[in-house]
Structure 1
Amino acid sequence: MSAVRTEAAVGAIVVAVAIGFMVYVSQFTSLSSDRDGYVLNASFRSIEGVSVGTDVRLAGVKIGTVTDVALNSQSFRADAKFNVIDGVELPDDSAVVISSEGLLGGNFVEILPGGSPLNFAAGDEIEDTQGAVSLISLLLKFVSGGDNEG
């Protein structure tokens, strides 16, 4: 009988640890990204390296997450939706840029705040956007002489 109790106790501990892990994951990852915040939209020429779950940062601090990326068949641009946490109010002349974490790092969405006294409301679209810059294209321009003087 003692072996059965030991196995039951070990099983209960495993289940408790699994539940604790799931709670931890849901609190500290993007699984709970829509908890409190508002959605903003932006349209980019190129959104290379950005997908659902990509960080949205302001001054290097994560303030949100990309929630949707889709091709706009009328404008042939990439439309993105992202969630911004409550308490972060962005001026309505802010810009949004696809930035890189470095030479080998991934891309993220960076908000460059403006100076307007008015702020974006939920569902607004950020008009001032800059898409991803292809590192390969820049290297090819550099290698081929970039400037065509002559």
Structure 2
Amino acid sequence: MHHNVVETVLGAVVLIVAVVFLGWAYSRSNAGDPGGYQLVASFDRVDGLDTGSDVRISGIKVGTVLSQSLDTDTYRAEVRFSVRDGVQLPTDSSAAVVSASLLGGKYLALTPGADDRMLGDGQAITLTQSSVNLEDLIGRYIFSGGGGQQGAAGSAMP
């Protein structure tokens, strides 16, 4: 009987530690509503930008990508994101999908404009720059004769 009580208490302690750990992990994970106000931007391509990706100004995280959808009228990617309260963006601000490193990972980079009017909740950023696909750039360089050898061999043929 004494053996069962010890096992029950030990099991309860393990469960409490697991619940505390899950609560701590959830609070650190940026899950849930990040707060602030929401903006929208449309792009031709958003390759590598995921829901939950950072929104940054000058490299500092100021928000989170909330959702992505396809506008079936224009066939452009529509990205909805949050910006924390206290960070006001002028109406002529721009947004770009930028690589965090060569290994992947993209984020939304915002560049504040100079207009006196500020964007409000639900408004759109109209100046956007789409994602650059590194594989396409490398392919274009290779197949355009950028290596030098293909261009020289190609010029010898009639």
State TM-score, norm by structure 1: 0.88
**How many pairs are equivalent?**
145
For the residues of structure 2 that align with 1:127 and 1:74, how far apart are their CA atoms?
A: 16
Give 1:96-115 correspondences, 5 Å limit.
96-115=95-114
For the residues of structure 2 that align with 1:74 and 1:136, how far apart are their CA atoms?
A: 28
Aligned residues: CA RMSD: 1.5
For the residues of structure 2 that align with 1:84 and 1:3, how far apart are their CA atoms?
A: 55
SS in 2 for 1:111: strand
Deviations 1:47-98 (A, max 9, x none): 1111211111112122111111111110010011011122222222111000
In structure 1, runs of 5+ residues without a counterpart are: none
Q: Which has the larger radius of gyration?
A: 2
Cα offset for 1:106?
Answer: 1.1
Deviations 1:106-141 (A, max 9, x none): 111111111223221100100000000111221123
Cα offset for 1:35?
Answer: 3.9
Q: Which moved more, 1:106-115 or 1:122-131?
A: 106-115
Contact 2:55 2:64 in 1 (8 A): yes
Amino acid at match of 2:132: V
For the residues of structure 2 that align with 1:5 and 1:59, how far apart are their CA atoms?
A: 57
In structure 2, runs of 5+ residues without a counterpart are: 147-158
Give 1:106-145 correspondences, 5 Å limit.
106-143=105-142, 144-145=144-145
For the residues of structure 2 that align with 1:26 and 1:119, how far apart are their CA atoms?
A: 33
The residue number in structure 2 matching 1:12 is 12
For the residues of structure 1 that align with 2:107 and 2:113, how far apart are their CA atoms?
A: 19
